Structures are given as structure tokens and as C-alpha cells.
Amino acid sequence: MKDYKALYPPVDPILTGIKGLCPRCGQGRLFDGFLKVRPACSNCELDYRFADSGDGPVVFVILIVGFIVLGAALWMEVNINPPLWLHFLLWIPLATVFSLGLTRVLKGVLINLQYRNDARSGEVDRG
């Protein structure tokens, strides 16, 4: 991964992750579909096999979306006191849309940060 530093200037991992772009060149697409990572970059041919975000994005999504939706639902219940069907009609679709959108964004950011910091899966040195 480090051989290409002279050919490709560093890109901002946060912005390229949000946009779903390649962590090395910042031009090619990272995703093939909505959440599936492409095999390689179409622009610089970076192999994306290193990219394994695991459960990281989902943990952040649960915490962020849960805080926002639960807080809004509790505020609405205390101040307006709507019927239960209105809560279901409002909060279930909102939580679903927020979760899907935020999962893609956070997965892209974590993969870009993984490339930037040269992170790999855990290895035991038995030297």
C-alpha cells in the first residue's frame, strides 16, 4: 500500500468515505451496489480485499440512530401525546431510513480510515 504515495496524493478519508470513493485515488467507486464493496478500484486498480469494516459501522449506527429516534419519540410523547399508531407510522420508517443511509456512510469512512492507517486484522507474532 505504501508504494503509491508518490503517485497518489493523500485524500481526506472522511470526505472520500462519505462520498463512497476509493481511499487511495479518491476517484473510483468503493461500493458495488448499496453496501457491497467492489473487488477493486476502477480508476487506480487498488485491491479492496484489505477492506473489512466488520461490525464497526453498525455499532455506531445503533448508538447514533437510537439516540436521535428515541429522543425524538420521547419528546413527542411527553409534549404532544399522540396515539400509538402515529408513533409506529413515524419512527419505524425514520429509523430504517436513517440506519441504511448512515450504515453506508460509516462503512465508507471506516474502510478509508483502515487504508489510511494501514490497519489489518489481528495477528499473533509467534516470532
pLDDT reading at 32 higher than 60 = yes
Q: What is the mean pLDDT of residues 5-31?
A: 92
52-105: pLDDT as tens digits: 888 889 999 999 999 999 999 999 999 999 999 999 999 999 999 999 999 999
The reported pTM is: 0.85
Nearest to 28 by CA among 42, 12, 10: 42
Question: What's the confidence (pLDDT) of residue 116?
Answer: 92
Identity of the amino acid at 59: V
Q: State the burial class of residue 94 (Cβ atoms within 10 Å of its Cβ: 0-12, 13-18, 19+).
A: middle
Give the residue with greater pLDDT, 97 vs 124. 97
In this prediction, residue 47 carries a pLDDT of 93
Rounded CA gap, 19 and 39, in Å? Answer: 18
Would the pLDDT of 2 be above 60? Answer: no
Distance CA 102, CA 90 (A): 18
Answer whether 21's CB lies under 8 Å from 105's CB.
no
